[in-house]
Amino acid sequence: MFSITIFPTIFDRCGGIILRGTNGLHNHSLLIRQLIANDVERQVGSGSILNGRGFATSIFQSEFISNITTSKQINGQNKQCNWTKSAVKIEEGIAWITSTKFIGLREGALNVGAGAIVYIDQSTQIFGNTISQTNLKENPIQRNIICRGTSINKAQLHAESISFLINNSGIESRNKWILISNDSCKVFGSVSTSPSLLFVPIITKFIAKQMNRRTGIYIEINGQSLIRCQNIWLKIEEKITNTYIKPNSIIYLLENISTKWEDDHSIVAQVPEDLQIVQKGKSLQVQLLIGETSEAAELIQIEGGQQWTMVTQQLNLYEVALYLFLVFILQKIFRLLLSTVFIV
């Protein structure tokens, strides 16, 4: 296919180019050069502009671009962080994508499905695939790539970090917005070295201190890309001097303890007292993690090289005053009882 243009349209429960091969990749192949698909949207269902299964597909110098301005919103950022649709979907086959643009695709750019191997050359550009093109600052979540196979038929994605851009300026983005299933997708290339394939927060300020008048920890975080996708975790660990003893720790999903989280630049949270770790008299080490699950989460570096912050749960002035007052009252009562016994 050479120099093909798909005019603006809406695919309702259907797709544009559908490829189905059943006799092996050596018998089913397609070369696409200079395919232009502008302002093509999927309204209902999982229809794609290009849906290939059982094919060896090469895509060169093509464009999958939407310039449709929309203020469409989905309630809850976490729902926006999990998407299922895509402009191009590859399954049970192999695809090479070179010098191609995926821009402004609000329903998702690329889906690497079960049994698929997709190679994205560094000349390919991917950016601006967000649910709302009218409010990028308030809604920075994008939908670039889904990589999800099955437990017995995994997906493979080969890509370079330079393909994922902030905008058409050519500046590489820290946030790749690749939604993967760790059990069924393997990622290769320089993009695989990212601490998180979805997004990477930048932490410029991290404060953890004892809350006033009660046991617990007050948390304040400032930075960039602090996005509510249920991927940021807070780990609290006992600080002990004996290196032979494994310290007790607890991990909280940040959404569950946040008290103020209105944008992607600042978070305020509170960690409550518990029966084992967050208690008076203990020195605690507090860390931020990023990952799909708490078990797979990795440490977030804080600007300046800091990896954690310390907090000690101490008696505050109110508690000290109350303690001294109670001691004073008990002493008075004790002396009064002694005086009464002596008189009798």
DSSP 171: P
Of 174, 193, 212, the domain-final residue: 193
Residue 112 has pLDDT above 80, yes or no: yes
Residue 273 has pLDDT above 60, yes or no: yes
Total number of domains in the chain? 3
Regarding whether 308 and 331 lie in a shared domain, the answer is no
pTM confidence score: 0.82
Of 134, 161, 193, the domain-final residue: 193
- Residue-range definition of the domain harbouring residue 327: 319-344
Please indicate whether residue 105 or residue 9 has the higher confidence score (pLDDT): 105
What CATH code is carried by the domain that includes residue 289? 2.60.40.10
Of the spans 68-77, 184-193, 204-213, 318-327, which averages the highest pLDDT? 184-193
Between 170-174, 213-217, 232-236, 296-300, the lowest mean confidence (pLDDT) is in 213-217
Residue 137 has pLDDT above 70, yes or no: no
Closest CA to 118 of 145, 84, 143: 145
pLDDT band at residue 79 under the 50/70/90 scheme: low
pLDDT band at residue 169 under the 50/70/90 scheme: confident
pLDDT band at residue 25 under the 50/70/90 scheme: confident
Of 138, 165, 193, the domain-final residue: 193
Regarding whether 66 and 136 lie in a shared domain, the answer is yes
pLDDT of residue 136: 47
Over residues 307-317, the pLDDT tens digits come to: 667 666 555 55
Regarding whether 19 and 106 lie in a shared domain, the answer is yes
Regarding whether 152 and 239 lie in a shared domain, the answer is no
Provide mean pLDDT across the span 225-240.
90
Regarding whether 157 and 25 lie in a shared domain, the answer is yes
Of the spans 34-38, 83-87, 219-223, which averages the highest pLDDT? 219-223
Regarding whether 212 and 114 lie in a shared domain, the answer is no
Regarding whether 115 and 92 lie in a shared domain, the answer is yes
pLDDT band at residue 131 under the 50/70/90 scheme: confident
Regarding whether 327 and 308 lie in a shared domain, the answer is no
Closest CA to 282 of 317, 323, 248: 248
Phi/psi region, residue 306 (left: phi>0; alpha: psi -120 to 50; beta: rest), is beta
Regarding whether 261 and 155 lie in a shared domain, the answer is no
Regarding whether 187 and 335 lie in a shared domain, the answer is no
Give, in order, the Cα–Cα distances in Å from 277 to each of 29, 117, 174, 212. 59, 46, 34, 18
Average predicted confidence (pLDDT) for the chain? 84
pLDDT of residue 33: 93
Find residue 271's DSSP bridge partners: 217
pLDDT band at residue 32 under the 50/70/90 scheme: very high
pLDDT of residue 134: 45
Residue 343 has pLDDT above 60, yes or no: no
Regarding whether 236 and 105 lie in a shared domain, the answer is no
Cα end-to-end distance, the chain, whole Å: 112
Regarding whether 125 and 266 lie in a shared domain, the answer is no
> Could you tell me whether strands 266-272 and 258-260 are parallel, antiparallel, or unpaired per DSSP bridges?
antiparallel
